């Protein structure tokens, strides 16, 4: 329990307040992401459920590796994801603003019925991603609990899907996982 409390305190310190919760209700935080926005050289905003710009994704152009940077609304870099080259399967690393690896997102080698992804988190439990990735209906969980859900049903706007993050979770890490999966699953965009 102490380890979890220390991780939560670190998240709050890095992000300027409680994470994974809507500040007005204390319930799950919801974010809105538009499809077909992840591309190298493209920038886009992730909005909260009230339509306010919460995070900016900067798709850095002119790089050898696929790199996407997550910034807060003031332009401060929070994290980045980079494609790992020369791997047997799709892999993207999530790094904090200091370049330290936070997590590694991997697609499972063989998935006969459903898409499956794994996320190795540096200072936390590994996460499993299961569901219909291509149709943007999936969950992220730690084995016992669902930590986030991705679905088109949260927002009724065309080409938009929502990410609902459970209270106490690191929003930046969860959003970077979703962005990495979307980028790898829809790499033909």
CATH of the domain at 144: 2.40.160.200
Lowest mean pLDDT among 10-19, 101-110, 173-182: 10-19
Q: What is the pLDDT of residue 41?
A: 57
Report the pLDDT averaged over residues 41-66: 78
Return d(Cα 164, Cα 54) in angstroms, integer. Answer: 14
Residue 37 to residues 121, 159, 172: CA-CA distances in angstroms?
Answer: 25, 10, 18
The beta strands (E) that lie in 60-97 are given as 67-72, 77-83, 91-96
Return d(Cα 31, Cα 21) in angstroms, integer. Answer: 11
**Residue 176 confidence (pLDDT) above 80:** yes
Whether 109 maps to a domain, the answer reads yes
Q: What percent of the chain has pLDDT over 70?
A: 69
Report the pLDDT averaged over residues 27-56: 80
Return d(Cα 24, Cα 30) in angstroms, integer. Answer: 12
Whether 71 maps to a domain, the answer reads yes
Q: What is the pLDDT of residue 91?
A: 87
Name the pLDDT band for 15 (thresholds 50, 70, 90).
Answer: very low
Whether 26 maps to a domain, the answer reads no
Indicate the DSSP class of residue 84: P
Residue 25's CB is within 10 A of a number of other CB atoms, namely 9
- Which has the higher per-residue pLDDT, 52 or 21? 52
Could you read off the pLDDT of 126-174 as tens digits, one per residue?
999 998 888 889 999 998 899 999 998 877 666 788 999 999 999 999 9
Provide the residue range defining the domain that includes 146.
2-21+31-185
Whether 83 maps to a domain, the answer reads yes
% helix, strand, coil for the chain, step of 5: 15, 40, 45
The beta strands (E) that lie in 50-154 are given as 53-59, 67-72, 77-83, 91-96, 101-107, 115-121, 127-132, 137-141, 146-151
Report the pLDDT averaged over residues 44-58: 90
| Burial of 169: CB neighbours in 10 Å, binned 0-12, 13-18, 19+ | buried
- The number of distinct structural domains making up the chain is 1
Q: What is the pLDDT of residue 17?
A: 44
Whether 146 maps to a domain, the answer reads yes
């Amino acid at each position: 329990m102490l380890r979890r409390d220390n991780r939560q305190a670190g998240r709050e310190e890095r992000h300027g307040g409680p994470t994974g919760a809507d500040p007005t209700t204390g319930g799950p935080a919801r974010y809105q992401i538009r499809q077909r926005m992840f591309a190298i050289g493209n920038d886009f905003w992730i909005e909260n459920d009230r339509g306010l710009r919460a995070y900016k994704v900067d798709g850095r152009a002119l790089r050898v590796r696929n790199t996407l940077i997550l910034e807060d609304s003031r332009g401060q870099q929070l994290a980045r994801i980079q494609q790992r080259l020369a791997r047997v399967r799709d892999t993207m690393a999530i790094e904090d603003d200091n370049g330290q690896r936070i997590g590694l997102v991997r697609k499972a080698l063989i998935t006969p019925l459903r898409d499956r992804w794994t996320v190795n988190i540096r200072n936390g439990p590994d996460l499993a991603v299961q569901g219909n990735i291509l149709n943007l209906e999936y969950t992220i969980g730690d084995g016992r609990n669902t930590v986030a859900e991705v679905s088109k049903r949260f927002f009724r706007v065309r080409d938009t899907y929502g990410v609902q993050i459970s209270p106490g979770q690191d929003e930046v890490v969860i959003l970077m996982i979703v962005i990495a999966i979307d980028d790898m699953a829809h790499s033909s965009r």
